[in-house]
Structure 1
Amino acid sequence: MVLPAAGTALAQDPPKELDRVTVTGSLIPQTEIETATPVMVISAEDIKARGFTSVADVLAKSSFATGGVQGAQTSASFTQGAKTVSLFGLPPGYVKYLIDGRPMSNYPALYNGSDTFNNISGIPVDLVDRIEILPGGQSSLYGSDAIAGVINVILKKKLDGGVFTIRGGGYSEGGGSNFRASFADGWTSADGRVSVIGGVQYEEKNAIWGYQRDLTKQYNQNGLTPPLASRDTLVAGYFDSYHFLDPANCSNLTGLFGGTTGLQQRPGFGDEYYCGSFYTPGYRTLANDEKSTQGYLHGTFDINDNLQLYGDVLYSHEETKYHVGSNYTWWGTSADFGYFWDDALGDLVNLQKAFAPEEVGSRGFRDNMGKDTSDSLRVTFGAKGTFGASAWDYDFGATYTEYKLKENSFVVYADAADQFFTDRVLGPQLGLDPLYDTYPVFSPNYAAFYQPLTPDEFASFTGRITSHSKTSDSMLRFQVTNATLFTLPGGDAGLAVVGELGKQKWNYDPAPELLNGEIWGLTSVAGGGDRDRYAVTSELRLPIFNPLTVTVSGRYDSYDASGRTIDKPTYSIGLEYRPIDTLLLRGKYGTAFRAPTLSDLYQGESGYYSSVIDYYQCAQRGYLPGNTDACPRAYSERQFFGTQSGNLDLKPINADVWSAGLVWSPIDRMSLTVDYFNWDIDDEVTQQSANALSLQDYSCRAGIDDINSPLCQQTLSQVTRNAAGNITEIYTPKINISNQKLEAVTAAFNYGYDFGRFGDLSLRTSFTENLHHTYQQYAEDEVIDLLTNAYWSSDPKRKADGSLTWSLADFSATWYVNWFSETPNYAATNSPLGYGAANARKLGSYATNNVSASYKLFEGMEVSLMVNNVFNRMPPYDFSYLGSSGAPYNSYNFDVYGRAYYLELRYAFGK
C-alpha cells in the first residue's frame, strides 16, 4: 500500500470496513494511517517527479536533514565512497536505517575515522516503492541507534509486468555525465500462490574535477587577501624562512599543472620566491567517479491459507574513484628529518615537493585515483501466517547482512622516496648539525630539486596498497501479533510481541604497510570484534474510547561483548485524541539509546601530538588550577604524545525524547501537520579529556584525592611522567561524558484539487526549525549553543522543501524547491569567537529549484525530462575566505555542481 500524503486519510469518507495495514512506527496492523508517531512518506512517484537521483539524494533533501555531513566534495574523507545524512543536526550514527523493516548492516569504515554509521548509496532507487522517515526516538520498537529517528526504505513487492528504464544526463558546467538503466519484472502463478519480483539496476557517473568549476579551479580570486599560489617546489629554512635556489627561475617546471607553474612570490618570507601555481586546487575530484550494480529478488509461496513462505535477496556492488589533489600528493623532508642542516645556508632547512599530473603519467591524476570497492549482501527468508482459526498472526524470519569494503590507495613509499631524493638532491649525509647535534647535514644539489620528474621516476617510489574491512549482522526474529486482542469502547485492542537473537561483527584490516610505517605521510588503525545480542519487544494499542487511543511499547536489549553484558530497557507511551473526524491531536514520550558500537569498543590504538596544562608542575611553582596564566610555558603548554583507542567499559548513550503535535484535514486532499520534538541526550561517547586527566593527576599527587583510590590509580596509569616529573604521554580512550539537548518543530501542508478537464493540481510542503540545540563535551566545559556558536556548528536553523505538480491526461509537470536559512560565513566558523570575530557574519538563505515533465507517448511508453538546480545556483559569495583557499565555500552546506539535466525513458511491457 502506498501511503497518501500526511493527514489525507482523516478527511475522506471511509468505508465501513478498512483494511488493516502495518505502518512504520508500529508493529500492529491498523486502519489509521496517522498515529502518535509522525511519519513522512516519500513515494516512488515523488522521487521521480522531484528529480532525486538516489536514495541518498532523497534523504539529504528532506527538511529533517538540517545537519551537514562529509561527502564527495571532501575528496579526502575516511569514507569517501559512502553517503549518509544527519537528522536535526544530530550525529549520522543516531539514525536507524531499515530496509523492509529490518536493520541495514553498518559500513565497514568509520565516519570521520571514529564513528560507526550506515551507507545509503547502495540501494537501487528504481526499485524503491517508498521511503518512510520517522523523526524522534524510536528505540522502544527498533532498538539501538534510533535516537534521531528511523528511516525505512521499502522495496517493490508487486509488479504487473516488466518495466525497463533508461536514463542519462550531465551538468551544464561540465563533468559528471551519468547513465542508469534498470529492469524489473514480476510473475504470479495462475493459482496466485506463488509470486516473484526481481530487478537489476546499473549506474555509472563520471567524476567532476575542481578545474571544471570557476570557483574551484584556482585559488580564491575574490578573497579577503590576494590569491596565493601553491608552494609546489619550496626550500624553507627555520631561521631565514624561504630560500630560493633555482638558477633557472622555475623555467624547467613551467609545463606542470597544465602549464600554469611559474616563479611565485610571498613578500615577507625570506627570499620570498618559490615555484608554484595558482591552479593546483583544480586537480582534485569534487564528485566521485562511480559504477554500481544492484540486484533484487523477492518471492512468496502460499503453502495454505494460514502459512506463507517468503524470501528476498538484495546485492550491491559499487566502485568509487576519487583524487585527493596535490595537497595530499607530495613529499618532504620534515616527516623524516624534522629539518636538515645546510652549511652553505647556515640554516636548518626543509624541502617540499608537490607532484604534478604531468609527472604521474599520460592521463595525469586519473592514473593515481583512489578506488573503493564495496559489496553488500542482504538475505532474508521466513514464514508468516495465522495460528489456525485464531486472531494470532506470526512471522518468523532470518536475516543475514554483510558489507565488504576494499580500499585501494595510491601511495608514496617512504624509504623509496627518501632514497630517490637523497640520490637526486641531498647527497650523502655529512654528520650532524653544529647547533643541536641532532639534525643530519647535507649539501644538496638544489638545481636537481627544481627539475620535473618523469613518470618512470615517479613510479619508482610509488605504488598501490589495499586495505580490507567487513561488517556482518545475522538475526533471527519472531513476532506474534493480535490486532483484535479484545474490544474496548474505541475499537479493537492490539498486541505485538517480538523476540530477536543475533550476532554482529566488525573488522578493519589496513594494509600492513600503513601500520609499519612504510608509507610516507599516511598511517591507519586496525580494529575488530564481535558481540551476541538479543532483544524482546512488545507493543500494546488500546482504543480507550472513540476519540482516545493509547499505545505503549517496551523493549529490552542485551549485548554480550568480550564477556561483558551491556543491556538497556526502553519504553514509550503515545496518545492519539480525535475530538472530531478531521482533527488528530497526538503526543509521545519515550526513551532511546545507542549501544556502544563495535568500533567504540574494539578500535585499536592510534597516536597523536597535543599540548596540555601540567597542573601539578604549575602548582609546584605556585600557580594553582584556575590561575595558571602566568605559569611558565614549558608547563602551561606541555607537549605530550597521546594515545587513543576504543574502550570495552563504555555504557550506552541514553536519551529521553518526547513529541506533541496535530494533524488537521478539514477537506478532502488537504492536511496540515505540526509536531514539536524534544531530546535530552546523555552519556555520549567522546575521547577522554587530556586536560581533565592532568587536573585529576594533580588532585591525586597533591593529596586532594586519595592517591591509593581506584580513581587515582587509574589516572596515574594513564598519565606518564619522565624522570624530571614532566608529562610525556597521556592515554585518552573513548568515554561516556558528553550531552546534547535539542528542541525542534516540524510542519507539513498538503493540498490537492481536481480542475476537471484542466487537470489536477497537487501541493506538498514540509518545514523544520531547530528551536534549541546545546552541547557540552566535558563536565567542566561551558554549554555550547549550537544555533548561535558558529565555531561549533555551521548548520542552518531552518529548512524547507515543497513541490507543485500539475497533471493533465498523459502529461504531468513538477516544480520542486529546496530551501534552508542563513548560515555562518568562513570568518565566523574559523574562529573561537564565532560571530564576534572580525568579518564574521551570516550568509543569506539559499534555495535550489528542480523542474521535471513527463509525457506518455503511447501505452506503456513514458518519456521524462528533469532539470535540477534549474537556475544554476552556486554557493553564495563569501568574502571572508582568504586568497589561500581553493574551495571558498562550506561543502557541508553547498556544492558547486550547478545545473543538472536528465532524460529518462520508461517502458512497461504490461501484464
Structure 2
Amino acid sequence: MEAIEKRLPRSRLTAALLAVLIAPAAGGAFAQDSAAAQPAPANDQATDVEGVTVVGSRIKRAQIEGPAPVTVISREDIDKQGFQTVSDMLSSLTQNTTNSFTGDLAVNGFTPNAQVVNLRNLGPGYTLVLVNGRRISDYPQPYNSDRSSVNVGAIPSSIIERVEVLSGGASAIYGSDAVAGVVNIVTRTNFEGNLLRGTVGTTSGGGGDSLDLEYSGGRVGDNWSLTYALQYNYDEPIFASQRDFMDDLRDGPRGNQVGPSLSLVAIDLLNRGRAAYYPGQEVCDRFGFTPYLSATRGQICGSYDSVASQSISNKRENMSAYAYGTYDFSNGLQAWASTTLYDSKAESSSGTEFWGTAGDPFLPASFYFDSGLGTFVQLQRVLTPKEVGGNTAVTTKYDEKAYDFSTGLRGTFADRFDWDLTGTYGRYEYKSDSPRLLAKSVHDYFLGDLEGIDDYGYAYYTLNLDRWHTPLTPAQYRAMSTRVINKGHTTSGQASFTVSGDLFDMPAGPVGFAGTLEFGRQTLQLNSDPRTDPNRTPDETTPYNLVSSGDIKGERDRYAIGAEFRVPLLSNLNAQIAGRYDKYDDITEVDGAFTYGLGLEYRPIERLLLRANYSTSFRAPDMPLVFAQGVASFAGVLDYYGCRAGGETVTDCNASGHPMQYQSQNQTVGNPGLKEEEGKSLTAGFVLDLIEGMSMSIDYYKIQLDDQATALSLDYILQNEANCRLGTYANGTPFPNAPTSAFCQDITSRVTRQQAPGQANGRVVNIRGGYINAARSINTGIDATWRYRFDTDRWGNFDFNLAYSLSLGEKYKQFEEDDLIDYRDRLDNDNQRSRVRGSVTWEKGDWTTTVFGQRLGSAPNAAEAAGRDSVTGRYYGARLQPYMLYNLAVEKKFGENFEAAFIVNNVLDNTHRKDLSDTGYPFFNPFIGADPFGRAYHLRLSYKF
C-alpha cells in the first residue's frame, strides 16, 4: 500500500496534460465550447486569411494563430451560448476569475454597479481593456476603494463584432496595465441593411424581468460607409425576499438553531456585552421581531428576515448609440470616425437602515453612560422596511454617462506600408445618490439632551424608552434622513500614429514591421459629499456612520514609442520581436519604462504549430493610490495590543463576540512615491490539427509581478503596533525593531487610541493606512482547448468546443521579508484551481441548438477546514464540490429575414454551492462562483430588412 501511495502524487503539469489529452476520448458528448480562435480544419479556407490583425500584434499576418494564445469570441458565439451581455460572456472565460468585488451582489461595496474582467486573478486593473485597439475611460469609482478598472458592462452588446482575449503580458505592444492580458472589443463596421432585435426575459424564482431592444443599420456607397446602432434595455431588480434560500437567517445550514440579528438592543459594556434589559414580548411584536434567549446576550428582540429586503440584482435602465463611418478619397486616403454614447440609470438597495452609538459623531466614544439603565451601554436599532417605507425606499441611485469619439486618417505609401493616424477622447461621468440617516436628528430623537460629561470624557444621556420601543413612521424616517451625493468623472485621450508593412525580403519571406508613436492623457476626479469629510466638525447635516471615500483629483500624461518585427527565420520558423518605451509625466516616481517581447512560431508539419512567447510588462501606479486625499471607512478590527497587554492570548481574543473585537474608523492617503510594478510573462505550447475537423491546443503560462502596490492592512498595522509597544511577537520571541526605531514610530503613529471603560490601554478609534511597493506574485498554469466539427447529410452539422484552464501555482508574498507562499491549495484562497467552459452545437436545416456549460473547480469551505458543526453535529469536508452551470439556446429561422430564439440560462437552477460550514448570511460565497438569480428564460426575435 505504501508503494502505491508514493506513486500517486504526480506533478500538477503532468496530470493536467494527461487530463487534457484524454478529454476528447473520454468526454465527446460532454465537450463544451472553448470559444478560442483555433486553426480551422485542413479543408477550411479560414486558415489562410489575407491581412488579419489580431490583438497581441500590430502586424497583419496570414495566420490567425501567432506566438501567443488568443481567444476570439464572435457575436454569434455570444448569442448561441445564451449570454445577454458581454460582461456575462467574459465572466465565463476559463482565464477569468469569479473573485471580484463588483456587481449586483456587492450592494455595500465600492462599485456595485460595475462589471469587470479579472484575468488570472491578479485584479481587474492588470487586464487592459481596449475598444478597437484603443484605451477607454476608467470607471470613476475606484474598485475595492483604491484601484482603477474598466466597466465592461457599459459596452453595449449591439455594437460588438467580436471579442479578442490575449492571456499574458503585452506591455511591449500596448504599454501599462497589459500584465495578465488584453481584452480587445472589436465593433461592427461595413454593415449593410437593417436589423431589429428584441429580447424579453424573466426568472423562474420571480423578479428580474428584462427587456432589450436593438436597432442596427448600415449603408455602403461607392466611396463611403456608415454603420449605426441604437440599444435600450431595462432590468427589473431581484430582492432577497424572492429567493427562498436568502430571505431568512434560518435558511442556513443550522436552520432554526441559529439566533436572529440584534435588532433592538442596549448592550451592557460592564456585563460582558449582555443586554442591559429586555423590552418584552409586546415591544418585539410591534416591530415584527422575535424574542430570543441568546447564550451571550441574554433575552433580546431580534429579526430573522430583515435581510430579505436587500436587492441581489440591480434595477437598470440603459440606452446607447453608436455610429461608425468611412470616406475614401480618390488618392487612396481614407477618413473615418466613430462615436459611442452610453446612459445608465440603476438602483441597488441594502434593504434596511440602522442606527447605533457606534459611528455616532456626537458621542465621544461608541458608547455612553445611561442614567436610566445605570451602566455604560452601546445601542443598536435596525429600522424595518415598514418603518422606512418599503424595500425601494432605501435604494442607492446611480446615474452614469459615458461617451467616446475617435477619428483618423489611414492610407498607404511606397505600395507596401499602411499607416493610421488616430485621435480619440472619452469621458465617463458617475453620480451616486444614497439614503442616510442624519446623525444629529436620530441622536436627539432617541437620546435627547446631553446630561453631562464625566472626568474621563464619557457622555451621560438617558435613553427615551418610549421612542426606542415605538416603530417610526415613513414620514418620521424621511424627516430624519438625507441623501448623500458622490460624483466623479474620468477622461482618456490619445493620439497615435502607426505604420506597418514589409521592410524587405529574406530567403524565407518578407520581414514584417509595425511602429507606433502615442500620446495619452488620463484624468480622474472624484468628489465625495462634503458632509462626509471625517475632518469636518459634525453638525445638523452630518450623515450617520458614513465617512468620505476621499476626494481624488489628478492627471497623467504618457508618451510612447514602440516597434515590432516579424522575422521569417526559415520557411516554417518565424520570430516576433517587440519593444516599447513609455514616458510618464505625473507626480509619481515613474519616469519611464522599457518593455520588450520575444515570440517564436515553428511549424514542423502543416498541421502542427509550436509556439512560445516571453515578454516583460509593467503597470504604472493606479491613480487612486497616488492622488487619494484620505479614503475613509469603518471596519471591524482585533485590538492586538489591548488583548496582549491585558494578559490574554490572540487565540482568546479571536473568539466570537470578544470585547477586543470592535469597529474602528480607518483612513488611507495616496502615496506619490510609488513606482511602477514590473512583470514577466512566459507562454509556451502547441496547436495541432488532429484529424479533419478536429484541433486542439495546450499552452503553459507563467506570470511574475514584482513591486506590486499593496496596502498596509489594518491587521498588519495593529499586530505590529502590539509588537512595537510590548517588544515581543505574540509567541513571546523578541521583536527586532525597538520602540524608538523608525519602523515602530511610523507604525504607532498610525494608530489613534481613546480611553474606554474596562480597557486600560484605550480603544482604537482611527487607523491611518497607506500604500507601498512590496508584494510579489507568481502565477503558473495551463490553458487547453479542443474543437471538433463534422457535417452529415442526414443528421445535420455538429460542433463540439472545449476550453480548460488549470492553475498550477499561485505564489504570493506581501513584503520582501515574507516567505513566498503558494496559495493554490490553501483553504483561504477563493480562486478556482480549474475552470472549464464549452458547448455542443447542432445545426439542421433552419434549426440551431446549443448547450453551453461551465464548470468551476472545487473551492474551500467557509470554515477553511474540515470539521463537524458544533450546533448541528453534521460533518463537512474542507473543500466544496465543483460548481456547474448550463445554458440552452434553440434558434429557428423563418425564411431569410426572420429568426426566433428561446434561451434558458442556468437550466438546472443551480444557484450556489451548499456549504455546511457557512453559518453567516447569505450562507454561500459569491467569490467562488454563484448564480442566486437562478433559472432565467429569454425569447429573442430578429428581423432583417
Q: Deviations over 1:786-834 (max 9, x none)?
A: 212222x212100001111111121111011111111111111899xxx
Contact 2:172/2:578 (CA < 8 Å) preserved in 1? yes
Separation in structure 2 between the aligned mates of residue 236 and residue 712 of structure 1, nearest angstrom: 35
**Alignment partner of 2:294 out of 267, 270, 273:** 267
Report what 1:646 is aligned to. Answer: 670
What amino acid does structure 2 have at the position aligned with 1:221?
Answer: D
Report what 2:609 is aligned to. Answer: 584
What amino acid does structure 2 have at the position aligned with 1:741?
Answer: I
Report what 2:900 is aligned to. Answer: 863
- Note closer, same or farther for the CA distance 1:175–1:707 as it changes in structure 2 (3 Å cut): closer
Q: TM-score, with normalisation over the residues of structure 1?
A: 0.89
Report what 1:431 is aligned to. Answer: 452
**Cα offset for 1:351?**
2.4
**Alignment partner of 1:844 out of 881, 902, 906:** 881
- Note closer, same or farther for the CA distance 1:10–1:497 as it changes in structure 2 (3 Å cut): farther
- Structure 1: give runs of 5+ residues left out of the alignment: 255-260, 631-635, 832-836
What amino acid does structure 2 have at the position aligned with 1:11?
Answer: A
**Cα offset for 1:538?**
0.7
Report what 2:871 is aligned to. Answer: none
The answer to whether structure 1 residue 316 and structure 2 residue 342 are counterparts is: yes
Report what 1:487 is aligned to. Answer: 505
Report what 1:147 is aligned to. Answer: 179
- Note closer, same or farther for the CA distance 1:694–1:145 as it changes in structure 2 (3 Å cut): farther
The answer to whether structure 1 residue 210 and structure 2 residue 231 are counterparts is: no
Report what 2:825 is aligned to. Answer: 788
Report what 1:257 is aligned to. Answer: none
Equivalent residue runs for 1:212-611 within 5 Å: 212-224=242-254, 226-240=257-271, 241-246=274-279, 249-250=282-283, 253-254=286-287, 261-269=288-296, 271-274=298-301, 276-326=302-352, 329-336=353-360, 337=363, 338-361=366-389, 364-387=390-413, 389-422=414-447, 427-432=448-453, 437-482=456-501, 484-515=502-533, 516=536, 518-524=542-548, 525-562=550-587, 565-606=590-631
Report what 2:18 is aligned to. Answer: none
What amino acid does structure 2 have at the position aligned with 1:448?
Answer: R
Q: Deviations over 1:239-285 (max 9, x none)?
A: 2311344356226524xxxxxx23421332454132x3211111101
**Cα offset for 1:7?**
3.1
The answer to whether structure 1 residue 92 and structure 2 residue 124 are counterparts is: yes
Q: Deviations over 1:383-435 (max 9, x none)?
A: 00012x4312110010101111001111111112212223xxxx4333346xx
- Note closer, same or farther for the CA distance 1:706–1:571 as it changes in structure 2 (3 Å cut): farther
The answer to whether structure 1 residue 769 and structure 2 residue 769 are counterparts is: no
Contact 1:232/1:354 (CA < 8 Å) preserved in 2? yes
Separation in structure 2 between the aligned mates of residue 564 and residue 674 of structure 1, nearest angstrom: 40
- Which stretch has the larger CA shift, 516-525 or 744-753? 516-525
**Cα offset for 1:645?**
1.3
* 3-state SS in 1 of match to 2:442: helix
Query: Identity, % of aligned pairs?
Result: 29
**Alignment partner of 2:844 out of 783, 808, 829:** 808
What amino acid does structure 1 have at the position aligned with 2:672?
Answer: L
What amino acid does structure 1 have at the position aligned with 2:856?
Answer: F
Q: Over the residues paired in the alignment, what is the CA RMSD in angstroms? A: 3.4
**Alignment partner of 1:676 out of 688, 700, 703:** 700
What amino acid does structure 2 have at the position aligned with 1:378?
Answer: D
- Note closer, same or farther for the CA distance 1:694–1:706 as it changes in structure 2 (3 Å cut): closer
What amino acid does structure 2 have at the position aligned with 1:371?
Answer: K
Report what 1:69 is aligned to. Answer: 100
What amino acid does structure 1 have at the position aligned with 2:422?
Answer: G
Contact 1:548/1:578 (CA < 8 Å) preserved in 2? yes
Report what 1:177 is aligned to. Answer: 209
**Cα offset for 1:87?**
1.4
Contact 1:39/1:133 (CA < 8 Å) preserved in 2? yes
Contact 1:719/1:727 (CA < 8 Å) preserved in 2? no
The answer to whether structure 1 residue 19 and structure 2 residue 43 are counterparts is: no
Report what 2:710 is aligned to. Answer: 686
What amino acid does structure 2 have at the position aligned with 1:444?
Answer: L
- Note closer, same or farther for the CA distance 1:745–1:514 as it changes in structure 2 (3 Å cut): same
- Structure 2: give runs of 5+ residues left out of the alignment: 1-33, 653-659, 728-733, 755-759, 868-873
- Which stretch has the larger CA shift, 523-532 or 196-205? 523-532
Contact 2:130/2:136 (CA < 8 Å) preserved in 1? yes
The answer to whether structure 1 residue 201 and structure 2 residue 231 are counterparts is: yes
Separation in structure 2 between the aligned mates of residue 823 and residue 556 of structure 1, nearest angstrom: 41
**Cα offset for 1:606?**
3.9
- Note closer, same or farther for the CA distance 1:805–1:444 as it changes in structure 2 (3 Å cut): same
- Note closer, same or farther for the CA distance 1:731–1:897 as it changes in structure 2 (3 Å cut): closer
**Alignment partner of 2:114 out of 73, 76, 82:** 82
Q: Deviations over 1:306-364 (max 9, x none)?
A: 210011001111111000132xx111123333222234433212322111111122xx1
What amino acid does structure 1 have at the position aligned with 2:325?
Answer: G
**Cα offset for 1:207?**
0.6
- Note closer, same or farther for the CA distance 1:703–1:519 as it changes in structure 2 (3 Å cut): closer
**Cα offset for 1:887?**
4.0
What amino acid does structure 2 have at the position aligned with 1:429?
Answer: L
* 3-state SS in 2 of match to 1:74: coil
**Alignment partner of 1:735 out of 772, 788, 795:** 772
Report what 1:747 is aligned to. Answer: 784
- Note closer, same or farther for the CA distance 1:395–1:171 as it changes in structure 2 (3 Å cut): same
- Note closer, same or farther for the CA distance 1:753–1:647 as it changes in structure 2 (3 Å cut): same
Q: TM-score, with normalisation over the residues of structure 2?
A: 0.86
**Cα offset for 1:898?**
1.0
Contact 1:790/1:829 (CA < 8 Å) preserved in 2? yes
* 3-state SS in 2 of match to 1:8: coil
* 3-state SS in 1 of match to 2:475: helix
Contact 1:614/1:637 (CA < 8 Å) preserved in 2? no
- Which stretch has the larger CA shift, 667-676 or 330-339? 330-339
The answer to whether structure 1 residue 904 and structure 2 residue 940 are counterparts is: yes
**Cα offset for 1:763?**
1.1
**Cα offset for 1:445?**
3.4
Q: Deviations over 1:365-395 (max 9, x none)?
A: 21221011111111100000012x4312110
Q: Deviations over 1:188-216 (max 9, x none)?
A: 12xx2110000011000011100100110
Contact 2:49/2:64 (CA < 8 Å) preserved in 1? no
What amino acid does structure 1 have at the position aligned with 2:881?
Answer: G
* 3-state SS in 1 of match to 2:461: coil
Separation in structure 2 between the aligned mates of residue 236 and residue 707 of structure 1, nearest angstrom: 36
Equivalent residue runs for 1:183-194 within 5 Å: 183-189=215-221, 192-194=222-224
Contact 2:172/2:617 (CA < 8 Å) preserved in 1? yes
**Cα offset for 1:706?**
12
- Note closer, same or farther for the CA distance 1:875–1:155 as it changes in structure 2 (3 Å cut): same
What amino acid does structure 1 have at the position aligned with 2:595?
Answer: T
Contact 2:866/2:877 (CA < 8 Å) preserved in 1? no
Equivalent residue runs for 1:616-627 within 5 Å: none
* 3-state SS in 2 of match to 1:334: coil
Separation in structure 2 between the aligned mates of residue 233 and residue 345 of structure 1, nearest angstrom: 15
**Cα offset for 1:841?**
1.1
**Cα offset for 1:181?**
0.3
Aligned length: 866
The answer to whether structure 1 residue 817 and structure 2 residue 849 are counterparts is: no
- Note closer, same or farther for the CA distance 1:906–1:223 as it changes in structure 2 (3 Å cut): same
Separation in structure 2 between the aligned mates of residue 269 and residue 805 of structure 1, nearest angstrom: 58
- Note closer, same or farther for the CA distance 1:679–1:366 as it changes in structure 2 (3 Å cut): same
**Cα offset for 1:91?**
1.1
